[in-house]
Structure 1
Amino acid sequence: MTASAARDLDDAVARIAGSALRPGPVGRVGLELENHLVDLADPGAPVDWHRLTRSAAGCGPLPGGSRITFEPGGQVELSAPPADDVAAAVLGLRADQATLGAALAADGLGLVLLGADPLRPARRLNGAARYAAMEAHFAAVGCADAGARMMTSTAALQVNLDAGPAADWSSRLALAHRLGPVLVAVSACSPLLAGRAVGWRSSRQQIWGELDSARCGPLLTGDDPAAEWAAYALAAPVMLVRDPVSGAAEPVRGRVPLADWVTGETRLGDRTATDADVDYHLTTLFPPVRPRGYLEIRYLDAAPEPWWPALAAVTATLLDDPVAADRAADACTPVADRWSDAARFGLADAALRTAAADCLAAAHDAAPPALRAEVGLLRELVSRGESPGDAVLRQAGSADPLAVLRAALDLPGGTP
């Protein structure tokens, strides 16, 4: 490696580590909620892309300020601005979800809150260059099926939290990861996928587990999480190269670590990586907890009311309330590495169920009063060894995919 290449690599390390986490107090919460979209007259059919974008655009500015975006399979995502606490975040997102749902319902469309589409096969509707390149890259590196299902058939609730004081980053990141298997089991709401039961309580998490661990696996959460994030990012393969003028995206059809592009060991797009390339590469990495100045908690299934507000409250409380955090850390330690078991067995696993019950008790004691009823309902569900997916199956009256899809519809004016 030349001196220039070493300097470029050092610059990339400093850039990535420097943007990983911002020091400050904890408390603010941002929420992102993905919805599957269905035609109410024909729920088993894909929704025409132009129809869904036109209908969503017609709802105008949302009262809580959420941004509307569209995932590759036509899933509609609401990204709410940060609020002062989780109660305010839920209040704002609920208002935006209701406003969007009413606008779509007027056009015969409905929002479905489930971790995976229970009925329709994977199909990409969003023609954005980024998603076409993602699809091609996943196919080239040997995870075409999982990549297509992740992009088009899954939906999540994402909880964004302040990074907190720098002295606490290591323990805070470690707890966010340690909570992962328990909250995967608690949030599990995707027992069906593409028309059949797949034998997993969270097929969404199962799909993520099949993807490239260098891009989607958890961080190690050692003593220096910012430096660890830089090492993770530089080792991860580059997914696509964007043309700096046209914005076109070309997939990388192989495994080229970012470090090799930065140093010039491998040239992509007939050039070495720029600062903009490094920054964009970070948006193509999907660990279960992603540092973006704040913490993105990415491992929760989307679930219908009252479950997603309860899950948001539980996640924020267990990480931001110091007493609840200590109780959760103790409860989760015995099952901290059981991601796959959590997705497959959920709360049917005795150890995960015990840890979940302890975490829900801690969260209920410290939850904001405005959300304590929802957290209480989730605590009761967990005490029975059930997750939101079980509640949806019970409401549907069967495991018929169409009935499950209808049971999870988030219609204006109440449940269907």
Structure 2
Amino acid sequence: MSIPQSGGGPITDPNQLAEYLESGCKPKEDWRIGTEHEKFGYVKDTLEPLPYHGPCSVVAMLEGLRDDFGWKPILEGDALIGLEKDGANVSLEPGGQLELSGAPLVTIHQTCDEVNTHLDEVRTIADRIGAGFIGLGAAPHWRHDDMPRLPKGRYALMTDYMGRVGTHGTQMMYRTCTVQVNLDFASEADMVQKFRVALALQPVATALFATSPFFEGKLNGHKSWRSRIWRGLDDARTGMLPFVFEEGMGFQRYVDYALDVPMYFVYRDGKYIDALGQSFRDFLKGELPALPGEVPTLSDWADHLTTIFPEARIKKFMEMRGADGGPWRKICALPALWTGLLYDQVSLDAAWDLVKGWDAETREELRVAASVDALDAEVGALKMKDLAEQVLDISRAGLKRRAMPGFGGMVPDERHFLNTLEDMVEEGATQADEMIARFEGDWNGDVTRVFGEYSY
């Protein structure tokens, strides 16, 4: 989840909303890669989720990172809720999941170095306090009442609202983890092409990164239960956004969509003001019940955009949101996959050629099938394993053409970061398939064995 946005005066002209998005356009030489990944913390002795307070806790983790590695604290009131350093920040999801939102970097080599440094730091503190961390799409056996409650006003409001819309909202908040990559666009036309490819191919990422076949201690019938949860969250702010593929798509069309998404809150003077279900359109007119007579700022608009959760979304950049959290090696694979597809024009055109004939029904069916069957999914004549192989070939070619060397020039480009995904496709089995086999085999139905086998 995002920390409060800052900067930007009052909105006096509705055109400022689209201009805000458009201000993210950058020339290709300024495009960057930002990787975000979440992970579950747990107490090693009990395999229970980390509480917020205590000697082995979320606060102890944050304080250790602050004191040992020079991270600066982020407070809400007197509560420690995050950290920041060198353009990156560490934040907390509602159930205490620890998230690194990485700095915008030039290459996958750099973003992978950042991930490695962060996980080394986390492991150093975790070992000292008796904690462990694991990357999975959904908590394997914890129940809702097991999860800690954090002192964040945003989450208190969202928890109440999620209980009144959809069916799986609080599961998303407290018991899921993801890895995502944030990428840039050059122009409105470039944004539209990338957005269409990103949405259409999110099911491929869901399939490749599926790591959540367990929930509440048993098999759940899906290989990505996290993806299933998102389908039952809140139809007003999730999904595959069919309008993106329609004529007339652009920044203003996304603004129109975002304005129709009910609000959660307004952030003022360090506090979250309840605006649940209220309209940003009314806010623009000075008629928001939560703040009568007041008009929004660009910071309010930026905050509102963080409360919209489609499979891919735009702010001043584009976010790929379809993947489960996963093991160390796959965190670097996700930015490699999307960078190869979207940051090389030949690959972007090839990816669009691959998906442009699909209709909204096909895209949605792929989304559902990916969550259930991962690489075994089939929709009509489309087989996910074959589709994933084609997508990886396109991405690999794009990374080769990018020709971004690493390790002092010893590695000519970024293609090797796709190896773990290509191995899975060749074997026809994801991590979820592997975990199911272990659960039904040598684990003897004991889902807690996942912690010993898959923790960082």
TM-score of the pair, normalised by structure 2: 0.80
TM-superposed CA distance for 1:290, in Å, is 1.9
TM-superposed CA distance for 1:393, in Å, is 4.4
* Structure 1: unaligned runs, 5 residues or longer: 1-9, 411-416
> Do the aligned partners of 2:154 and 2:272 also contact (CA within 8 Å) in 1?
yes
Name the stretch that deviates more: 191-200 or 374-383: 374-383
Q: Distance in 1 between matches of 2:272 and 2:288?
A: 18
The change in CA–CA distance for 1:379 and 1:115 in structure 2 (over 3 A counts) is same
Is 1:47 the counterpart of 2:50? The answer is yes
TM-superposed CA distance for 1:371, in Å, is 4.5
The change in CA–CA distance for 1:66 and 1:108 in structure 2 (over 3 A counts) is farther
TM-superposed CA distance for 1:139, in Å, is 1.9
What code does the residue aligned with 1:186 have? L
Q: Which residue of 2 aligns with 1:70?
A: 92
What code does the residue aligned with 2:250 have? P
Alignment of 1:10-409 (within 5 A): 11=12, 13-21=14-22, 22-26=24-28, 27-43=31-47, 45-50=48-53, 51-59=57-65, 60-61=69-70, 66-122=88-144, 123-140=147-164, 142-143=165-166, 145-219=167-241, 220-221=243-244, 222=246, 223-242=248-267, 244-245=268-269, 247-252=270-275, 255-263=277-285, 267-275=289-297, 276-333=299-356, 334=358, 335-337=362-364, 338-350=366-378, 351-367=383-399, 369=412, 371-393=414-436, 397-398=442-443, 400-409=446-455
Name the stretch that deviates more: 102-111 or 262-271: 262-271
Q: Distance in 2 between matches of 1:166 and 1:262?
A: 24
TM-score of the pair, normalised by structure 1: 0.87
The change in CA–CA distance for 1:382 and 1:332 in structure 2 (over 3 A counts) is farther
Q: Which residue of 1 aligns with 2:3?
A: none
Q: Distance in 2 between matches of 1:331 and 1:127?
A: 46
The sequence identity of aligned pairs, in percent, is 26
TM-superposed CA distance for 1:172, in Å, is 1.5
| CA offsets 1:181-229 (integer angstroms, 9 cap, x no match) | 1211111111112222111111111111111122123332244331122
> Do the aligned partners of 1:327 and 1:362 also contact (CA within 8 Å) in 2?
yes
TM-superposed CA distance for 1:311, in Å, is 2.2
| CA offsets 1:340-385 (integer angstroms, 9 cap, x no match) | 2211221111422221111112223443656533412311212333
Q: Distance in 1 between matches of 2:354 and 2:431?
A: 21
RMSD: 2.5
TM-superposed CA distance for 1:389, in Å, is 2.1
Q: Secondary structure at the match of 2:163?
A: helix
Q: Distance in 2 between matches of 1:58 and 1:370?
A: 35
The change in CA–CA distance for 1:341 and 1:134 in structure 2 (over 3 A counts) is same
What code does the residue aligned with 2:370 have? A
Q: Secondary structure at the match of 1:238?
A: coil
TM-superposed CA distance for 1:12, in Å, is 6.0
Name the stretch that deviates more: 203-212 or 97-106: 97-106
TM-superposed CA distance for 1:270, in Å, is 3.9
The change in CA–CA distance for 1:392 and 1:361 in structure 2 (over 3 A counts) is farther
Q: Which residue of 2 aligns with 1:413?
A: none
> Do the aligned partners of 2:142 and 2:217 also contact (CA within 8 Å) in 1?
yes
Greater percentage in helix: 1
Q: Which residue of 2 aligns with 1:414?
A: none
What code does the residue aligned with 2:62 have? A
> Do the aligned partners of 2:143 and 2:216 also contact (CA within 8 Å) in 1?
yes
Q: Distance in 1 between matches of 2:303 and 2:420?
A: 40
> Do the aligned partners of 2:340 and 2:397 also contact (CA within 8 Å) in 1?
no
> Do the aligned partners of 2:343 and 2:398 also contact (CA within 8 Å) in 1?
no
